[in-house]
Amino acid sequence: MTTEADGTPLLPHVLQAYPYPWDNAFIWTSEKEDEETLAYARAVLEACLPQRPLPEPEPPEEVAVHDSSECGYPEWTEIRAVLRERMPYARHVTAERMADAEAECARRGLTTADFEEVWTRRITAWIAEQTLYWCGLMVDDEAALTPWLMNLAEQYVERGMAAAKAVGALTCTRSVPESRAALARLAAHEGLPDEIGELIRDGRN
């Protein structure tokens, strides 16, 4: 139920309890791999998965650009900084705060086309990235991840969200037959970006 203080949530209900800043890479690494945490990780990944393939991969690839570079940082990094100030946690991602961020970005002359849709999707994708990374790299009990992580990771790659981290999760768990099978199916999948195809090939070797 929406209140005036909370605003209108834009993220799935399960993410309202997400305890980490959405822009902090891989904060999950401090978590224990107990049954409750694994169940929450699974619920987060199920909630973040887009219903259909995205027209463009999300989130944007992180850049490593020196401050002195003539090209500078891409515009989206400045927009993300505005969002961080106004909605640092998933529970803060509301229609009202998003509108405020959009107005600030417009004031700065930044791109605001389809602002709420684009940035809600990107915040969701960053959360998915963090969760996939933790499941694939940090969880030692692969049996506890089988087969749900493999199934979800494959769908993330196919739908173009957090694809690199999804391939990474499959690669880190490739001792499990389900991961190897998912990588094999993805290797035969047509239409994936070249860089993702390369990651899949590397993951199978």
H or E element: which one contains 102? helix 95-107
Q: What is the DSSP letter of 92?
A: G
Q: What pTM was estimated for this model as a whole?
A: 0.92
Distance CA 169, CA 124 (A): 18
Distance CA 86, CA 101 (A): 7
Range 91-111 average pLDDT = 97
Ramachandran sector of residue 160 (left: φ over 0; alpha: ψ -120 to 50; beta: rest): left
Q: What is the DSSP letter of 4?
A: T
Sign of CA dihedral 160, 162, 165, 170: negative
Q: Of 17-21, 73-77, 168-172, which has the strongest mean pLDDT?
A: 168-172
Q: What percentage of the chain carries pLDDT values higher than 90?
A: 79
| pLDDT of 31 | 72
Per-residue pLDDT of 128-142, as tens digits, reads: 999 999 999 889 999
Domain ranges of the chain: 1-47+64-124, 140-205
